[in-house]
Structure 1
Amino acid sequence: MTSDTAAADRTGTDFEIFIVTAPGLESVLCAEVKAKGFRDATAIKGGVTIRGGWPEVWRANLELRGATRVLARVASFRAFHLAQLDKRARRVPWAEFLRPDVPVRVEASCKGSRIYHAGATAQRIERAITEELGAPISAEAEVSIKARIDDDLCTISVDTSGESLHKRGHKEEIHKAPLRETLAALFLHHCGYDGTEPVVDPMCGSGTFVIEAAEIAAGLHPGRSRRFAFEQLASFDDAAWQAMRSAGGNAQTPTFRFYGSDRDGGAIAMSRANAERAGVAALTDFQKHAVSDLMPPPEGPPGLVIVNPPYGARIGEKKPLFALYGALGQTLLSRFSGWRVGLVTNEASLAQTTGLPFQPSGPSVSHGGLRVTLHSTAALP
């Protein structure tokens, strides 16, 4: 479509889908997307693009563990001023994906364009939706339209996820500084975890790493227990969706278990409750003890120890943490020969204190307002 074409792209069986993830983890998500068989997966800033139709949108929400949300890019057109934006927004085939009886909210952003006022952009698009389709506008609407004008190109997307995809619907109880499930899944993937080995987390908090690892090994879809915004769209086919959900994943029962420990008894209680809600209680084992008491599992091959210890900038003072990290490293080096290690922290000096033979630093991402980095090893000697 040329830059001065007034008509918007029409939605059909094949359009661009943008899968959002934490900046810095795009390549890790892209590997997951490709492994799941999605078409034309390309890592770009902030996520991964694929091609497909509405069934691919539903499946991405259901199956992808590293995705934050899934945006269906339903229209794009050039707009050099607000009057042109108003005119071309009215030509978007809103009725193909929005319902007139379902409230909508519009969010807009502008960058490097002659239209620079995000609020005015959102207002024009809201007016086009209400006057052309009749759908009500509400700031609390579950269905969200995202309009981005970049270099005078307006891209219209539907947020098909609703709540962030890290909200699996299982972790109702959380410990201090909880790691999001999406980040945990991507860190596991980056450490080479594919569900065929045991996982140990010696500072398990709410149990996120252990539960994610158990779900992957059991072949459970991350979105199996929640609802999505796309269920409120005109393009939604409930029968096809229910068939997709009921097909499940490659359900299987691992021959090994997944272990979490923490010195905080409250964290252990939370982890057990969260694992029960996730349906993996039988695959997990959570025990209260200190890092110095950590031992390898009594059965099963060597696997992955992955841990998100306290950070000085978030929980307590940094100085006492050097002793904690040192004890962790000493325990792993003396007892976990053949195991790989993944450690997430915001301070390289804390990671170095473990004495573990870390490879070059992995992804650095934002977590709770801090920049954290994944440090990983090959199999320990």
Structure 2
Amino acid sequence: MTQQLELVAITAFGLEAVVARELRDLGYPETTVEDGRVRFKGDAAAICRTNLWLRCAERVQVVVGEFDAVDFDQLFDQTKELPWEEWLPVDAIFPVGARSVRSVINSPRNVQRMVKRSIVERLKTVYNRHRFAEDGVEYPIEVSILRDKVLMTIDATGDGLHKRGYRQLVGPAPLRETVAAALLKLSYWNRNRLLVDPFCGSGTIAIEAALLGRNLAPGRDRSFVAENWNQIDLKHWKDARQEARDLVEPPLPIRIVARDRDRKMISIAKRNANEAGIFSEIFFEAKDFISFPTDRDFGCTVANPPYGERLGEKNEVRQLHHDMGELLIPLEDWSHYIFTGADNFEREFGKRADRRRKIFSGRIPCTYYQYLGPRPPQEANETDSENVDTSVNTEDDYSTPGEF
């Protein structure tokens, strides 16, 4: 298959612009950002490369068609008009998933049944048969209806892209890998700067940083449902994986520091880092946050501290924010990035953030507070946009950051 395809990268809400930039960096400049997804153009090889390389997207899908529908008759008829045979072989397994938001058609279960029936009717005519065994390769179909507009896609990923394969054990409130990668991409951190995560938990931020710093493709050690599709030449997958091997960077010049007061979590984080193949890039310590101060200059803190909805009591969280402010604010040449769902973080921390961005962590609306320190002298001539996406500043936009 050599023609250009319309593809979709599914994202967490708040990460659309980050994923659009990832796609442009991969060589796919034609992007359209929508809520929870980014559309882009690419050939069959793009399906392979984006599945392997996208750090912040949840999955990659192929667009089969799009139309308006306000009743099930319209849904059935227009689904039947789409060229399903271009994708579904006669023995294809094609489960149908559906969701509907603010639409007249609002029963996902009935949508699934109607779409499945419509596709079968189309394939009966094309393949001249009445029954389909569905014992071949899987082509998961997704139906998304938003404000009566129906988008029909086929999922090319399988298990979500956040499932890198290294995280065998997690703590009680794990941060999704794709979100952790986005926090890093929205920071000033790069492989030549010290990075500290003082609340590392199962190690996700530190591990994702090591993968990013080494330019290790996040999907290099896993498989994808589209690897079995006959529309994609196996050479594309082979070439994409070879490209991933060729682009690996040498070991980090400065080890990442990952700390947590819970020794059990440090043990879990070490095991996950070993599974990810980057254990030597991270220095793990079982230490309380209060031991944070360091004599290193121009470091970065990227942290997802516990907050009331997940761990700890409200009073403990407030005290933690106060302690964080006392320890971090004096580090004037550091940059601090705090991701939390807690209310009143800035007031309790003691300083307004330079930037803030709303990002969903699962179903929880969180805010990413960005305190931007100066660039190291050797980076003074580099543009701030190199590592920091400033295209969207959600929440309040304070023009002059300062202490309360």
- Say whether the 8 Å CA contact 2:189–2:300 is kept in structure 1: yes
* 3-state SS of 2:221 partner: coil
Report deviation, 1:235.
Answer: 1.5
CA distance in 2, matches of 1:102, 1:115: 27
Structure 1 residues 263-310: Cα deviation after superposition (integer angstroms, max 9, x where no partner):
100111111111111111111111111111124386xx6231111111
CA distance in 2, matches of 1:207, 1:348: 24
User: Within 5 Å, which residues of 2 pair with 1:126-205?
Assistant: 126-131=116-121, 132=123, 136=133, 143-150=139-146, 153-205=149-201
Report deviation, 1:94.
Answer: 2.4
* 3-state SS of 1:74 partner: strand
Residue in 2 that maps onto 1:8: none
CA distance in 2, matches of 1:55, 1:155: 23
Residue in 1 that maps onto 2:367: 373
Cα RMSD between the aligned structures?
2.7
Residue in 1 that maps onto 2:320: 324
- Say whether the 8 Å CA contact 1:98–1:233 is kept in structure 2: no
Residue in 1 that maps onto 2:10: 20
CA distance in 2, matches of 1:353, 1:113: 41
Instruction: Give aligned pairs, total.
Output: 365
* 3-state SS of 2:63 partner: strand
Runs of at least 4 residues of structure 1 off by over 6 A?
none
CA distance in 1, matches of 2:151, 2:363: 29
Residues 136 and 281 of structure 1, relative CA distance in 2, 3 Å threshold:
same
CA distance in 2, matches of 1:38, 1:105: 29
Confirm whether residue 68 of structure 1 aligns to residue 68 of structure 2. Answer: no
- Say whether the 8 Å CA contact 1:103–1:137 is kept in structure 2: yes
* 3-state SS of 2:30 partner: strand
Q: 1:273 is aligned with what amino acid?
A: R
76-85 vs 343-352, which deviates more? 76-85
Confirm whether residue 99 of structure 1 aligns to residue 89 of structure 2. Answer: yes
In structure 2, runs of 5+ residues without a counterpart are: 376-404
- Say whether the 8 Å CA contact 2:298–2:374 is kept in structure 1: no
Confirm whether residue 225 of structure 1 aligns to residue 215 of structure 2. Answer: no
Alignment TM-score, normalising by the size of structure 2: 0.82
Residue in 1 that maps onto 2:342: 347
CA distance in 2, matches of 1:111, 1:215: 36
Q: 1:247 aligns with which of 221, 243, 247?
A: 243
Structure 1 residues 42-96: Cα deviation after superposition (integer angstroms, max 9, x where no partner):
2211121111122112211111111011121022345565455444434433232
CA distance in 2, matches of 1:217, 1:74: 36
In structure 1, runs of 5+ residues without a counterpart are: 1-10
Q: 1:349 is aligned with what amino acid?
A: N
CA distance in 1, matches of 2:367, 2:147: 33
Residues 144 and 252 of structure 1, relative CA distance in 2, 3 Å threshold:
same
- Say whether the 8 Å CA contact 1:104–1:136 is kept in structure 2: no
